[in-house]
Structure 1
């Protein structure tokens, strides 16, 4: 159903571990692209998913990060824990410079794990779909929308299809508007002929090794508006101080104050998730837990918001 896409940085992996039970209970399947040299955090996240009886996709040929040139350590990691339950899938990123033979070579590296194809610029969908029709094993085809438009996706009609849309328009923290539309895929994915949907949470698909100095601090909080056909929107609560990289704690306090004011207005449509409760506690205590921790809370809130909506829609 819902397939959130995570790059395997520290707080993304922590988010997976802390939401593993919720992900499993809702039949959500996180997609994890390992980008850090150490796989210790990835192992903990996968173990948490397994313990919760959930499912996950681990990308074995990441496009970004430390394993872009040589991902053998990732395939070795999967080989070291054969997937007898069929719940940890080997994800293969399909890029514009790949040929069918490249796909087959990568696929053969993890024979004990079912395959998920992640379409991200591949240019020969007709041939690949024919090979799947002829018996090539593939659990599902996951399409990154900006790289796989309607005509491309039509080649895979009749197969399980997941559509990922990047609803997060990445920009400088100081430049975010107060409010913008995020996505309607949670409402429309079935009408588009998809079996599931996903996004890049409140982080976005754009990749950078580090965030750089925080001239402004922004809290990104999603909500679903029932008065607007259940479309998901995102608030950006941005600090007033934006002209210096110092005092992130003070800037966080400013942004958090704006979030709390909006919550207390009773007109925000933001649901009271566990993450929102923690934001309230941080405000009460005047505590700054660090920028990575804040990002984690935003992601956890986003996942729980989708969970609550889908449960109510059943």
Structure 2
């Protein structure tokens, strides 16, 4: 559990969803392996008060329902976006609202996330807010242009409201309209490119937001893990396989960096298993060097087991392990 006696960088200024302290908000798109990651990390995230944000992108809500039950069963909390921008619910999120209303009325563990994009009108934002007042609504600002009018509408309710700001769309002046509310800053720390391109960048800075969010008067911070904010329905052929793993560097002020372990072969779309073996060998060599600074998470242990067995579990599974490692690394840091 979090020790409130730790230095200020490990204290959190504002309360999130009531009495518990909530500061890290990983943003997931609700694909299969993202939802599996959340389920497998549900107990850990509840223990350290991490609150995942979930944007459902698949028409079937079966996996999402299992995930929400796992979160609630572990005593955790989550933000569920009711008006997704990506995926199958882009035009109509009614089934998501129905899920909340049928299963989560009176359960403050699940907050209704209202995604505010550039094409979201003030009228729509208010309508979503009024429709989901029973679900502790959270506004996720990602291109919205009526911020002043929304703050004025909230009026006396502003202080009790919750806001997550995508940093690329909400500068300091934008966020100032919501001073006094519970505010979280969401940063995309992952530089997205073709996998082969990472071979020239063995590691790079990911973020220092876990250290500085409170200095910006934020109650918490978030990121898009090892996926980034860009969205695609499915991956193309794997000309190169890359394993992306974050680590916190105590020799550089505890800034978070990300390793890119990339296959040597990258000129054909064949043999993903062989390419994974090449990337995995580079990861294991770095771990065995003794200076990787990677936290020995359960995900790292599983990578070691895959190497020992010579097994390729599929690219989706590999991404799941990278996301799981990221959550475990931050949980260890804040514990």
Which residue of structure 2 lines up, in the alignment, with residue 152 of structure 1? Answer: 174
Which residue of structure 1 lines up, in the alignment, with residue 297 of structure 2? Answer: 273
Is 2:87 the counterpart of 1:58? no
Q: Please list the CA deviations of residues 239-285 of structure 1 after superposition, one character each: whole Å capped at 9, or x if unmatched.
A: 00101111100000000000000001111110100000000000000
**Distance (Å, rounded) in 1 between the aligned partners of 2:33 and 2:104:** 26
Deviation at 1:132, TM superposition (A): 2.1
Which residue of structure 2 lines up, in the alignment, with residue 98 of structure 1? Answer: 120
1:107-146 aligned within 5 A: 107-135=129-157, 139-146=161-168
Deviation at 1:137, TM superposition (A): 8.7
Q: Which runs of 4+ in 1 moved over 3 A?
A: 136-139
Q: How many residues align?
A: 311
Which residue of structure 2 lines up, in the alignment, with residue 236 of structure 1? Answer: 260
Deviation at 1:138, TM superposition (A): 5.7
**Distance (Å, rounded) in 2 between the aligned partners of 1:37 and 1:173:** 29
1:285-296 aligned within 5 A: 285-296=309-320
Is 2:53 the counterpart of 1:31? yes
TM-score normalized by the length of structure 1: 0.97
Range moving further from structure 2, 42-51 or 99-108: 99-108
Deviation at 1:136, TM superposition (A): 6.2
SS in 2 for 1:3: strand
Contact residue 114 and residue 137 of structure 1 kept, 8 A: no
SS in 1 for 2:134: coil
SS in 2 for 1:233: strand
Note closer, same or farther for the CA distance 1:137–1:9 as it changes in structure 2 (3 Å cut). Answer: farther
Is 2:235 the counterpart of 1:211? yes
Contact residue 24 and residue 50 of structure 2 kept, 8 A: yes
Deviation at 1:80, TM superposition (A): 1.1
**Distance (Å, rounded) in 2 between the aligned partners of 1:137 and 1:157:** 8
**Distance (Å, rounded) in 1 between the aligned partners of 2:39 and 2:148:** 38
Contact residue 116 and residue 138 of structure 1 kept, 8 A: no
Q: 1:40 aligns with which of 33, 56, 62?
A: 62
SS in 1 for 2:168: helix
Q: Please list the CA deviations of residues 196-249 of structure 1 after superposition, one character each: whole Å capped at 9, or x if unmatched.
A: 000000111000011111100000000000111110000000000101111100
**Distance (Å, rounded) in 1 between the aligned partners of 2:243 and 2:31:** 19
Contact residue 33 and residue 58 of structure 1 kept, 8 A: yes
CA RMSD of aligned residues (A): 1.1
TM-score normalized by the length of structure 2: 0.91
Contact residue 151 and residue 158 of structure 2 kept, 8 A: no
SS in 1 for 2:89: coil
**Distance (Å, rounded) in 1 between the aligned partners of 2:105 and 2:74:** 15
Which residue of structure 1 lines up, in the alignment, with residue 14 of structure 2? Answer: none
SS in 1 for 2:28: strand
Contact residue 140 and residue 166 of structure 2 kept, 8 A: yes
Contact residue 159 and residue 181 of structure 2 kept, 8 A: no
Note the residue ranges of structure 1 that are not aligned, 5 or more in a row: none
Q: Specify which structure has the bigger relative contact order, considering alpha-carbon pairs within 8 angstroms and separated by 6 or more residues.
A: 2
SS in 2 for 1:287: coil
Deviation at 1:134, TM superposition (A): 2.9
Q: Please list the CA deviations of residues 11-51 of structure 1 after superposition, one character each: whole Å capped at 9, or x if unmatched.
A: 00000000000010010000000001111110010000000
